[in-house]
A and B are shown apart, each in its own frame.
Chain A
Amino acid sequence: MRLRALAPLALALLAGHPALADDQLQALSHTLDALFRADTSQGVMAMTVVTPDYERTLKMSVATRGLDDTLVRILEPHKERGISTLKKGTEMWNYLPRIKKVMRIPPSMMMGSWMGSDFTNDDLVRGSSWEADYTATLAPDLPADAPCIVYVPRPQAAVTWSKVEACFAGSPALPVRLDYFDEKGRKARTMTFEAIKELGGRRIPTKTTLVPLLKPGHRTVMEYLEMTYDAPLPPNTFSQAALRRDL
């Protein structure tokens, strides 16, 4: 009787903790999804773009609401102050204060560079979720405190990558590196996370470095300088009028 009761547990042990592995996967994917997201967020970022031909740093204000709405406005350098990007759902507009014009970004330009960085417009627009859009598997033979997850997009998900590998460290676990593989299976870009700090009441990596591996000499570093989470935003923060408003 006692033996029979223990049998399922023994089976579970033999199968390598499937229940435990699933929990861990889910928890890590959730961490990744929730890392920079909130009901609302507001902050200031510095973006440094390094190329073989120039290096420049932009300071910008960022406001987000959920996954759908984002407003980014350049604060510095002075020459480009006020250049803004509004994203609502899958649509995107740029505002150019010097000529006082709003330009909609057409779908064909979504893979184009955003503000001359190594991020694409698509990176900004995409509201993809690691939990919902990818099938996750734990990479084998890694220590429990430094796990890696292999994400393969679900067939119906509109994802540009064929595979993404995410590695975590620490306790509670935070991402340290994401490797993106293109449709040819080449490792196309690497995103690393560092400088873990308490910002706006959250412990997050405050420095993200994106290296496009197929473009030697290029690198974009994004640093969070100030961050406030879940504070109420003024109405119409994500509107065409806000996009055009003077800074």
Chain B
Amino acid sequence: MALALRLGLRNLRRRPMRTALTAAMLAIGTALLVFSVGLNEGVYASLIDVATGTWTGQVQIQAPGYEESPSLFETVNEPGPLLAALEARPEVVAATARVEVAGLLGAGARTVGTLLQGVDPVAEPRVSTLPAALSAGAWLPTADPDARPIVIGVGLARRLGVGLGAELTFMGQAADGSVAAELFTVGGLIDSGSAEVDAQLALIRLADAQALLVLGQRVHRVVGRLTSADAATPFAATFQAPPGLRLLPWQALLPGLDQSIRSDRAGGQIFMAIMLVVVVLGVTNTLLMSVFERTRELGLMKALGTPPRQLVATTLWESAWLSVASTALGTALAVALILALRDTGIRMFDEPMEFGGASMQVAYPILAREVVIYPLIIAVVGTLAGLWPAWRAGRLDPVAAMREG
């Protein structure tokens, strides 16, 4: 064993140039793969963070079917105890309740169809980052029961041709079937950076919305902010939603985002597969050359009584040395690069890219699980690439081999 290990290493050193070239190919390939996986996972993670953190949350509790076809009548009837139960869990940073209704928002002669959302002025900023994207005016006040403030997106303000202090008319349908109509005063404008969000956003106070829509205590969404987006799936598996309600992790709330990430990751795996083919060819080529070169030597060793098993082992150790050392080097290189760029990030796009209501411009590579798994796969496949040359070495006919050499 020890002899085979040493012999393997010696054989690699006999042709330093060839070994160096193969090693460099393996190392650079691994580094490229590991770094790009780290970068991709970083992009995914920040997309998920931004998309869930902005408004959606990492988990939501709703009436079944609400997500697929929202209806005024599909409600969470007792949000109070549910919010308390959520916030009692360590994974939950904060939770809040929301009411939603489609209707018309008008100013002067202009009317636009919109989704009016009633949010808790205190709890909402703890759950989502959208309230912090205020570009003018003030967030929804808690006190002042006489005023009916509304905070709207800058895009919606532009569509309505209004600014701070403007009076907006809302008309929709209340839960008892009656016509819901109310006047609101624009108290704040939100510029989220996403044109899609800003063109629709209209937020009023939860209590105002519940009174306007004759909903009582009922709400449509209970939204939870978790310590991380990764916590959503295990949380969904362990949190018991009250009967008649269901808990959805962000993957179910932002299926488009989840789907894009999955398919992008699958594309990365194709890159990985191509990389593996190159590795196998490179290592096999190097070892085959090495075995051909030493046909005479191997024949002599066999004639002197070296068991075939040891010849196989020697050759396999040669591929193992080559693969493990090169991938380790490549991984170290990539990890160093990831660590160096982890905080500063890489500017990916000239303009912020919009993605499921979230926008991003700078990518921050991370040390994802894949960063360890991929080099391991390359090292193992590279080692196994020595099997064929090893098998050849093992079944050499000593006489023919020595004559040939």
Contacts and interface: CB of A to CB of B under 8 A. Distances in A.
A119 B111 CA distance: 20
B181 interface: yes
B179 A80 contact: yes
Contacts of A96: 169, 171, 179, 181
A51 B175 CA distance: 11
B122 to A, nearest CB: 27
Contacts of B173: 113, 116
Interface string B155-180: 00000000000000101010111110
Interface size bucket, B side?
10 to 19
Interface string A74-92: 0001011001000000000
Label chain B's interface by main secondary structure.
strand
Interface in B166-225: 169, 171, 173, 175-179, 181-183
Interface stretch (A101-109, A129-137, A158-166, A197-205): A101-109
A99 B183 contact: yes
B77 to A, nearest CB: 13
Given A101-B169, A103-B106, A105-B111, A51 B183 contact: no
B231 interface: no
Interface in B107-142: 109-113
Contacts of B325: none
B177 A116 contact: yes
Contacts of A113: 173
B73 interface: yes
B29 to A, nearest CB: 52
B238 to A, nearest CB: 33
A53 B73 contact: yes
Contact of A105 (B104, B181, B182): B104
A115 B182 CA distance: 16
A212 interface: no
A106 B183 contact: no
A28 interface: no
14 contacts: A53-B73, A54-B175, A56-B176, A56-B177, A83-B179, A98-B181, A101-B106, A103-B171, A104-B106, A104-B111, A106-B113, A108-B113, A109-B111, A116-B178
Interface in B71-121: 73, 104, 106, 109-113
A103 B104 contact: yes
Contacts of B183: 99, 101
Interface residues of A, number: 26
B111 A49 contact: no
Nearest to B72: A53
Contacts of B109: 104
Contacts of A104: 106, 109-111
Interface of B: 73, 104, 106, 109-113, 169, 171, 173, 175-179, 181-183
The listed residue with most B CB atoms (<10 A of its CB), out of A51, A54, A55, is: A54
Nearest to B214: A54
Given A51-B177, A103-B111, A112-B113, 9 more contacts: A53-B73, A53-B175, A83-B179, A94-B171, A99-B169, A103-B171, A105-B111, A106-B111, A109-B104
B102 to A, nearest CB: 8
Contacts of A103: 104, 106, 111, 169, 171
Interface of A: 49, 51-56, 77, 79-80, 83, 94, 96, 98-99, 101, 103-106, 108-109, 112-113, 115-116
Contact of A79 (B73, B169, B175, B178): B178
Contacts of B181: 83, 96, 98-99, 101
Contacts of A49: 177
B37 to A, nearest CB: 44
A48 B19 CA distance: 87
A77 B179 CA distance: 11
A96 B178 CA distance: 12
Nearest to A94: B171
A77 B178 CA distance: 9
Given A103-B104, A104-B106, A54 B111 contact: no
B315 to A, nearest CB: 67
A54 B206 CA distance: 23
A20 to B, nearest CB: 48
A112 B177 CA distance: 14
A134 B73 CA distance: 38
Contact of A80 (B110, B169, B175, B178): B178
A115 to B, nearest CB: 7
Contacts of A105: 104, 111
B103 to A, nearest CB: 9
Q: Which 10 A-B pairs have the closest CB atoms?
A: A96-B181, A103-B106, A101-B169, A53-B73, A54-B177, A56-B177, A99-B183, A116-B173, A104-B111, A106-B111
